[in-house]
């Protein structure tokens, strides 16, 4: 089973916490336009934007983007505490635009390099009007970046 699928099926606490934050109106006001592919400019006086930045859900610089790193503690078999880290890149496939897979893979590869990680997750939301039904287009795939890193690709 793919690591991302295991996390979702396990309903880990950090994912529940993330879901709860994303349901908050002040977070949704910032995140939904970004997921739709709209540009959001940084306004230092916008409390909702500052809150989303403080939560680590969006970048604290212009243009505001989602570069998501999920971290959670675990104890290994020797009883030593460690942090597991998962990097995610989100892309939107807009009507009349090319498939963002290549761009997302390149961006995620650079992100993984900065973080010192060998694997990551790329999520592509298909917003094209002629896209297949969600139940037909939702799929997990495995891809390899140009530098040889393994990426789980979720298309939805």
Rg for the chain (alpha carbons), in Å? 16
How many angstroms separate the CA atoms of 150 and 125, rounded?
A: 20
CA distances from 20 to 30, 41, 83, 117, 132 (A): 15, 24, 22, 27, 29
* Mean pLDDT across 105-120: 93
State the helix-helix crossing angle for 25-35 and 13-23, rounded to 10 degrees: 90
How many angstroms separate the CA atoms of 97 and 68, rounded?
A: 24
Lowest average pLDDT, out of 12-16, 41-45, 79-83, 132-136, goes to 12-16
pLDDT level of residue 147 (50, 70, 90 thresholds):
very high
The per-residue pLDDT for 64 is 83
Report the greatest alpha carbon distance in the chain. Answer: 53
When the pLDDT of each residue in the chain is averaged and rounded to a whole number, the result is: 84
pLDDT level of residue 150 (50, 70, 90 thresholds):
very high
> Does residue 16 surpass a pLDDT of 80?
no
């Amino acid at each position: 089973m793919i690591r991302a699928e295991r996390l979702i099926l396990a309903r880990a606490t950090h994912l529940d916490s993330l879901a709860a934050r994303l349901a908050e109106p002040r977070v949704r006001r910032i995140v939904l336009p970004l997921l739709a592919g709209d540009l959001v400019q940084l306004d230092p006086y916008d409390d909702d934007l500052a809150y989303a930045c403080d939560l680590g859900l969006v970048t604290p610089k212009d243009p505001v983007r989602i570069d998501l790193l999920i971290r959670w503690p675990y104890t290994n078999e020797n009883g030593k505490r460690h942090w597991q880290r998962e990097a995610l890149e989100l892309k939107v496939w807009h009507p009349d635009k090319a498939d963002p897979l290549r761009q997302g893979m390149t961006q995620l590869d650079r992100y993984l390099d900065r973080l010192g990680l060998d694997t990551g997750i790329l999520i592509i939301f298909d917003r094209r009007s002629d896209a297949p039904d969600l139940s037909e287009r939702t799929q997990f795939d495995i891809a390899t970046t140009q530098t040889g890193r393994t990426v789980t690709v979720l298309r939805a």
